[in-house]
Amino acid sequence: MREWQWRGFKVVQSIVERLPRAWAYALAVFAARFAWWFSPLARPRLEYNLKVACPDASPVEIRRLSWLNFRNHAKAYADLMMLPRTRVVEMRPLMHVEGWEHLEQARAIGKGVMVVSCHMGSYEVTAAIWSSTLAPVTFFAEELEPRPLFEWYRDTRARLGISVLALDLAGLRKVTHALRDNELVITAIDRDITGTGRVMPFFGRPAPIPTGPTALALRMGTPLLPVCVYRLPDDSYKVEGMPLIIAQRSGDDDADELRVTQQLLRQIEEFIRRHPEQWHVPHRIWEGGP
Amino acid sequence: MKVGLVSPYDFASPGGVTDHVRNLAKALTHIGHPTQIFAPSSRRHTDSDGTTFHRIGTPVAIPVNDSVARITLTFRIANQVQSIVQRERFDVLHFHEPLMPAKPMTLLRLSTTANVGTFHAFSRSNAGYYYGRPLLRPYLERLHRGIAVSEPARTFFSRYFPDFPLRIIPNGIDTSVYRPGLSPIRHLRDDKVNILFVGRLEKRKGLGDLLRAYELMRSRVTNARLIIVGDGPLRGSAESFISRHRLPDVVMAGFVPNFVLPRYYDSADIFCAPATGSESFGIVLLEAMACALPVVATEVPGYMSVLEPGKDSLTVRPKSWAELGAALVILARDPELRRRMGAAGNEKAQRYSWSSVASQVVEVYEEARVAARDLVESNVHNAV
């Protein structure tokens, strides 16, 4: 994103944050239609990824899924743009949780919780509510370009009690502190952003997958909680927590990392299979993709 | 004792009086006095931290005292107020800014119980008080006891109503919420020295001076970061100043909810309060001190009633951004001085805990009840 695009984003954002939620979504869907028609690379990449995740889907079905995907992602962007004026108390009734007991179980261990997910749904809403009711939340996420956009993204989340740490050494150190203080760290493992992932089967095809969260969990004894957040037809949010994965050390750290990450990945695959219309990764995951 | 707290200000907008009312209600309930709140609100669903809340009237924004007061101006709330007052049968009605139209005045007129008023405001002058004295005096006479939050607030009020005695009871601070050692906003904790500003972005809070001071100090302390918490009418011009002067490392956090705010204090190294005047107390100073932050503030009367310069703070003349910048440089370069001042501030903040403030307020309630009873008896006696 260039400087002028960032400025454009700010103008649109300042309009969207003042709109009622329904209007903001209507505008988002309108913009999504243009993006879906005219995106030169994002749509082919997304459709390629969806085809890998849903091999039995026909081209027409993939096309429908990609449109719904753009639509849901645009709504998630609208949520993000509305964050500066969002109040947690108003968001709370919009979140429906399933598997809460897994989160409570993880918190009771007292070694922090590594919430592992994929690029799906509006995580800000969930994180903001957890931050106000449970414990401080940290996002361990990619650094966006340009820098002002990343700073806006970070400052906007911070006012809801969410820390945003970049995927670097300093970020890793702070994540360790957060886990030591029994806080929640949210990260996604369906895409290798730093280029340091290990190749393993993802939907049956080799793909580089980040093993950082598992490595941390193994070192600190932190429970891993697979979580999926998705949008319901009435634009409320569903949060599904799965049973905990406790990373056990066997003496071979490399093998442990691989084993536990694959275990997590099977869960992530399941989330994506159930809600492919919400899994938005318009990037190259597998070799040979556009 | 059943207590009703009455605030004239929009309960959905952040502000010193609103925070005071919210916390006092919690503290009174905690020590066994069921409390309810009456205030206008711009939102249908207003968060009152579990206290029973009566939304009375819709607020409108009125420019007052270099700021904007969101109050309700309609007097057509009498029926609603009367039915609540008759139903609830309060032992004490505690009015905050009791001479502010229209809600406190309406309630005061209809109240048949012991009435206590707290005066928060401070200004150089007040035309409303000056010209409105003959109209306001009958309302004032309905108050059985009065409280001022600081010496400047009392002096200001006594200038117009010298015969009405006020006891000083300061604002309080919840030292279990505002304390050192909370989880910081982690991406703000790095090798930079964080300077924190908390307040509505309006002229009297002096943000313009702070931005100039920050520009000045950045050439001398390159690892400084300015964190601005709050929203308001000057947000646009502050952002434009930052962009025009290419000020690096400025975080515009916007409005931050109460449950996150203490974590911002715990992410900072220095707290700066550059108000230009018209502050009667400055709750933000107490919040910062409770979180063991050293303070750089302007020498406005309200702030000086809380601070001890040299011990817990460095103070400069209002609107003097060069001095403000110099004070920030001194503290930014000296971690030991920051630690010492922070510790002194933290020790002082313990004296302002809400439990201590609430018990002083309850003493005033008892006095007001006795005064109200005596007044009724003397009226009966005169009638006989």
Residue spans per domain, chain B? 3-172+353-383, 186-352
Partner residue facing B186 (CB), from A87, A151, A178: A178
Average pLDDT, integer, range A114-124: 89
User: How many Å apart are CA B302 and CA B154, to the nearest integer?
Assistant: 11
Is pLDDT above 70 for B315?
yes
User: With an 8 Å Cβ cutoff, is A63 touching chain B?
Assistant: no
Helices (H), B142-257: 151-160, 207-218, 235-244
Strand partners of residue B5: B37, B94
Flag whether A260 is in a domain.
yes
Using a CB-CB cut-off of 8 Å, the residues of chain A touching B257 are: 87-88, 132, 159-161
Cα(A154)–Cα(A83) distance, rounded to whole angstroms?
A: 11
Structural tokens at position B251: 């975080």
pLDDT at B362: 95
Amino acid at site B23: N
Task: Tell me whether B190 touches chain A (CB under 8 Å).
Answer: yes
A133 pLDDT above the threshold of 60: yes
In chain A, residues with a C-beta closer than 8 Å to the C-beta of B242 are none
d(CA B239, CA B216): 17
Q: Do B45 and A90 touch (CB under 8 A)?
A: yes
Domain total in chain A: 1
Q: Does A11 touch chain B (CB under 8 A)?
A: no
**Residue matched to tokens 């939907």:** A203
Return the amino acid letter for B147. Answer: I
Confidence of residue B76 (pLDDT cuts 50, 70, 90): low
Q: How confident is the model at residue B94 (pLDDT cuts 50, 70, 90)?
A: very high
Phi, psi of A110 (to 5 degrees): 85, 15
Q: Which of A84, A151, A161 sits opposite B260 (nearest CB)?
A: A161
Contacting A residues, span 154-193, partner chain B, CB-CB under 8 Å: 154-156, 158-161, 163-166, 170, 174, 177-178, 181, 183
Tell whether the model's pLDDT for residue B61 goes beyond 80: no
User: Residue B381: which pLDDT band, with cuts at 50, 70 and 90?
Assistant: low
Q: Is residue A283 part of a domain?
A: no
Q: Is B186's CB within 8 Å of A163's CB?
A: yes
Determine the structural domain holding residue A37 and report its residue range: 3-278
For residue B374, the model assigns a pLDDT of 77
Q: How many residues does chain B have?
A: 384
Tell me which chain B residues have a C-beta less than 8 angstroms from the C-beta of A127. none
Q: Which residues of B touch A7 (CB under 8 A)?
A: none
Q: Measure the CA–CA gap between B285 and B294, rounded to whole angstroms.
A: 9
- CB–CB of B186 and A174 under 8 A? yes
Same fold, B3-172+353-383 and B186-352: yes
Q: Which residues in B lie closer than 8 A to residue A113 (C-beta atoms)?
A: none
Question: In chain B, which residue's Cα lies nearest the Cα of A170?
Answer: B190
B260 and A160 in contact by Cβ < 8 A?
Answer: yes
Q: What is the pLDDT of residue B151?
A: 87
Of B47, B252, B263, the CB nearest to A161: B263
Peptide bond just before A233 cis, omega within 30 deg: no
Position B384 pLDDT exceeds 60: no
What pLDDT does residue B65 have? Answer: 59
CB-count burial class (<10 Å; 0-12, 13-18, 19+) for A268: buried
| Superfamily name with CATH number, domain B3-172+353-383 | Glycogen Phosphorylase B; (3.40.50.2000)
Question: pLDDT-derived band of residue B109, with 50, 70 and 90 as boundaries?
Answer: confident
pLDDT confidence of residue B77: 67
Give the CA distances from residue A103 to residues A128, A220, B308, in Å, rounded to whole numbers and listed in that order: 15, 18, 47
Does residue B216 have a pLDDT over 70? yes
Contacts with B11 from chain A: Cβ below 8 Å: none
Residue A234 lies in a domain: yes
Suggest the residue from B177, B185, B196 to mutate for an interface test with chain A (most A CBs closer than 10 A).
B185
Q: What is the pLDDT of residue A131?
A: 86
pLDDT for the residue A134: 85
Q: Which amino acid is at B355?
A: S
Res B258: pLDDT? 86
CATH architecture entry for B186-352: 3-Layer(aba) Sandwich (3.40)
Q: Which chain B positions have a beta carbon within 8 Å of A170's beta carbon? A: 190
pLDDT in tens, A22-77: 999 999 999 999 999 988 889 999 999 999 999 999 999 999 999 999 999 999 99
Domain membership of residue A45 (yes or no) is yes
> Under DSSP, is residue A178 helix (H, G, I), strand (E, B) or coil?
helix
- Per-residue model confidence as pLDDT tens digits over B341-364: 999 999 999 989 898 899 999 999
B47 touches chain A (CB under 8 A): yes
Quick check: A117 contacting B, CB < 8 Å? no
Collect all residues of chain B within an 8 Å Cβ-Cβ radius of residue A183.
Answer: 183
Cross-chain residue pair A174–B252, CB shorter than 8 Å: no
Instruction: Flag the least confident range among B278-287, B322-331, B361-370.
Output: B278-287
Instruction: Say which residue, B124 or A237, is predicted with more confidence.
Output: A237
Q: What gap in Å lies between CA B116 and CA A33, rounded to an integer?
A: 61
| pLDDT 10s digits, B261-299 | 999 999 999 999 999 877 777 889 999 999 999 999 999
Q: Least CA distance to B255: which residue of chain A?
A: A159
Taking chain A, what is the end-to-end CA distance rounded to the nearest angstrom? Answer: 20
Predicted ipTM? 0.84
Put simply, the answer to whether A155 touches B252 (Cβ < 8 Å) is yes
Summarize pLDDT for A89-111 with one digit per residue, the tens. Answer: 788 888 899 999 999 999 999 99
Contact list, B229 vs chain A (CB under 8 Å) = 159
Cα of B185 to nearest chain A Cα, Å: 5
Read off the pLDDT of residues A18-31 as tens digits, 9 standing for 90 and up.
999 999 999 999 99
pLDDT for B134: 81
Roughly how many angstroms between the first and final C-alpha of chain B, as a whole number?
31
Q: How much is the pLDDT for B380?
A: 62
Taking the Cβ of residue A136 and every Cβ of chain B, the question of whether any pair is shorter than 8 Å is answered with yes
Spell A26-52 as b/e; 16+ CB within 10 A means b: ebbeebbeebbeeeeebbebbbbbbbb
